[in-house]
């Protein structure tokens, strides 16, 4: 019998392939499971590369992004957490846990000899039913500004309560809501800058309108400029030096060397004059500005800022309404940025440059203070999640209660559908309902509560009409989500539901894994 695949290729079929997929996906799900909910724990990720970087986080996407994974099914789950992070910003752990639970339930059904396609058909029906039940229960306070703001505050506090900022969640929720409402409905978070400065405590963080650039103002330059016209550039200020490696210039007297230097200086002076001709009073460059051009700028009363980092300079161009220039021959085609005041400020021990009254009114900077770089990195990730969710909620203003309430609402409807559905599909629909209930179960387990008792109480509560019961992790009982103000964005919940079901479905369809033969280096003699 001829072999189709190369010698080193590995093929796994049928039952074995399915087992490998299930095991990989469940292992990933179990890995992030303990980080779910307000009492979830963090993970330390240590890289083996140079510097042995350490990351302390409980953000699902960050944990999974840092892992090197060999199992193809596990990679599918890593991808859905990345997509969830890019799409809505939060719920990265929930989506992986739900997909893992759906696969766990599917494995039991496959052991009962139910065909994967039947399971998928059941899951599809259950998904539609769950989504419709959520749609019926959403609340929308778009018309009432005060109520909508309190919804946003609640959503931000719910998002932050499972993160490092949970101790000061009201303070940071306020910061995040203020920043997002400035965007006036845009989901582009580019104009919200997050600046991290070690020192102080998290509570010392603040929101500042305008833009802060992490640079010092040069020596002998104006420390404050009003009605600034800013030219943002990415250009080398030393292009005109003789830089040809290995070039030899032979001269027969010292005066000739002086002539070469003078010619170089003249070229530099011409370039600086071209820049000054734009009628600016602030020049920000991505690259270095050397001593001589700096003198020329200072003489002309222009504030020159060198070596601004690229992200900073792109953002500066965006918020001041300018564009990054690299040639200066025709000033009329260059778009200058504008702002009311540029001044130097101190944060902790550092001097920074503050641009206020920028052209893009919605621009603002959140300055984070904290004990160490690790705390600040995690605080930034937490705040980023909150900002993403809020900016999505401003567009899609529907909200739901949190704390396991949506899962119980969906599970109840899906249960009823399972009772009405004849045939084997009903087993799959029932399994979907079990998987949904696993989320509140895990939230309770992570808080060290008796999950079996709590979930049974919760199920009984949800059999009453319009129940708002969910898990109150702080008191360890079933609480009223409306009174506690625990709310979530509908868009995030919907994204979790759809992505997790699609990922589980994709893994269920697999019946063969083919690992290609590794490429060999041929001996080139």
294 touches 304 (CB < 8 A):
yes
Pinpoint the alpha helices (H) of 47-203: 60-65, 72-87, 92-111, 116-137, 145-160, 169-182
Per-residue pLDDT of the chain (525 residues; tens, 9 = 90+): 467 777 777 787 878 888 888 899 999 999 999 999 888 899 998 888 777 888 898 888 889 988 888 888 899 999 999 999 888 888 899 999 999 999 999 999 999 999 999 999 999 999 999 999 999 988 888 888 888 889 899 999 988 888 888 888 888 999 899 888 888 777 778 878 888 988 888 888 888 888 888 888 777 778 888 888 888 888 887 765 556 666 777 888 888 888 888 888 888 888 888 888 888 888 888 888 888 888 888 888 888 888 887 777 888 888 888 888 888 888 788 888 888 888 888 887 888 888 888 877 777 889 999 888 889 999 999 999 899 899 888 888 899 998 889 999 999 999 999 999 999 999 999 999 999 999 999 999 999 989 999 999 999 998 888 888 989 888 888 989 889 889 999 999 999 999 999 999 999 988 888 888 777 776 665
Q: Assess if CATH 3.40.50.2300 describes domain 8-138+399-513.
A: no
Among the listed residues 59, 151, 415, 445, the single catalytic one is 59
Among the listed residues 90, 151, 385, 445, the single catalytic one is 385
**Residue 322 to residue 287: CA distance in whole angstroms:** 18
Among the listed residues 62, 92, 393, 501, the single catalytic one is 92
Does residue 93 have an active-site annotation?
yes
Strand, coil or helix: 464: coil
Instruction: Give the domain ranges of the chain.
Output: 8-138+399-513, 141-209+360-393, 214-350
Q: Which residue has the tokens 């600016």?
A: 280
**Residue 346 to residue 350: CA distance in whole angstroms:** 6
66 touches 34 (CB < 8 A):
no
Q: Which tokens belong to 360?
A: 């893009």
Task: Summarize the chain as % helix, strand, coil (round to 5).
Answer: 50, 20, 30
Q: Assess if CATH 3.30.43.10 describes domain 214-350.
A: no
Does residue 204 have an active-site annotation?
no
What burial letters (b/e) apply to 98-133, b meaning 16+ CB within 10 Å? bbbbbbbbbbebbeeebebeebbbbbbbbbebbbeb
Q: Assess if CATH 3.30.260.10 describes domain 141-209+360-393.
A: yes
With CA atoms as reference, report the closest residue to 164 among 121, 117, 122, 201. Answer: 201
Does residue 309 have an active-site annotation?
no
Among the listed residues 93, 320, 393, 397, the single catalytic one is 93
């Amino acid at each position: 019998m001829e072999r189709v695949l190369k010698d080193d290729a590995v093929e796994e079929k049928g039952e074995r392939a399915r087992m490998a997929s299930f095991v990989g996906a469940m292992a990933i799900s179990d890995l992030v499971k303990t980080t779910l909910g307000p009492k979830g724990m963090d993970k330390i990720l240590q890289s083996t590369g140079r510097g042995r970087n350490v990351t302390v986080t409980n953000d699902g996407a960050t944990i999974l992004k840092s892992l090197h994974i060999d199992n193809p099914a596990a990679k599918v789950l890593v991808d859905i957490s990345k997509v969830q992070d890019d799409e809505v910003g939060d719920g990265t752990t929930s989506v992986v846990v739900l997909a893992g639970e759906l696969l766990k339930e599917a494995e039991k059904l496959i052991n009962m000899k139910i065909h994967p396609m039947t399971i998928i058909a059941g899951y599809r029906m259950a998904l539609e039913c769950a989504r419709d039940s959520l749609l019926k229960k959403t609340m929308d306070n778009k018309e009432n500004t005060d109520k909508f703001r309190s919804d946003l505050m609640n959503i931000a506090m719910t998002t932050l309560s499972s993160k490092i900022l949970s101790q000061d969640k009201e303070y940071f929720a306020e910061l995040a809501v203020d920043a997002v409402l400035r965007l006036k409905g845009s989901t582009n978070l580019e104009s919200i800058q997050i600046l991290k400065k070690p020192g102080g405590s998290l509570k010392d963080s603040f929101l500042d309108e305008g833009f802060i650039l992490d640079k010092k103002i040069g020596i002998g330059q104006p420390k404050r400029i009003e009605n600034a016209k800013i030219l943002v550039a990415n250009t080398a200020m030393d292009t005109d030096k003789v830089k040809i490696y290995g070039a030899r210039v032979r001269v027969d007297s010292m005066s000739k060397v002086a002539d070469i230097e003078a010619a170089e200086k003249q070229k530099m002076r011409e370039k600086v004059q071209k820049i000054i001709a734009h009628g600016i009073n602030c020049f920000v460059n991505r690259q270095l500005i050397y001593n001589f051009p700096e003198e020329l700028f200072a003489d002309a009363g222009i504030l020159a800022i060198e070596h601004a980092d690229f992200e900073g300079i792109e953002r500066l161009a965006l918020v001041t309404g300018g564009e990054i220039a690299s040639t200066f021959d025709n000033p009329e085609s260059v778009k200058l940025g504008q702002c009311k005041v540029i001044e130097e400020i101190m944060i902790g021990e550092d001097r920074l440059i503050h641009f206020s009254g920028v052209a893009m009114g919605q621009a603002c900077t959140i300055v984070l203070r904290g004990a160490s770089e690790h705390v600040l990195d995690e605080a930034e990730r937490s705040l980023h999640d909150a900002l993403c969710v809020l900016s999505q909620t401003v567009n899609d203003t529907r909200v739901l209660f949190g704390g396991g309430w949506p899962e119980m609402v969906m599970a109840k409807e899906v249960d009823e559908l399972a009772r009405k559905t004849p045939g084997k599909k009903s087993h799959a629909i029932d399994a979907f309902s079990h998987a949904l209930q696993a989320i509140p179960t895990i939230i309770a387990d992570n808080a060290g509560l008796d999950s079996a008792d709590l979930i049974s109480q919760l199920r009984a509560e949800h059999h009453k009409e319009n129940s708002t019961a969910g898990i109150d992790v702080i008191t360890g009982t079933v609480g009223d989500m409306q009174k506690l103000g625990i709310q979530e964005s509908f868009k995030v919940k919907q994204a979790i539901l759809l992505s997790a079901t699609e990922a589980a479905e994709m893994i269920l369809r697999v019946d063969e894994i083919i690992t290609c033969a590794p490429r060999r280096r041929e001996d080139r003699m």
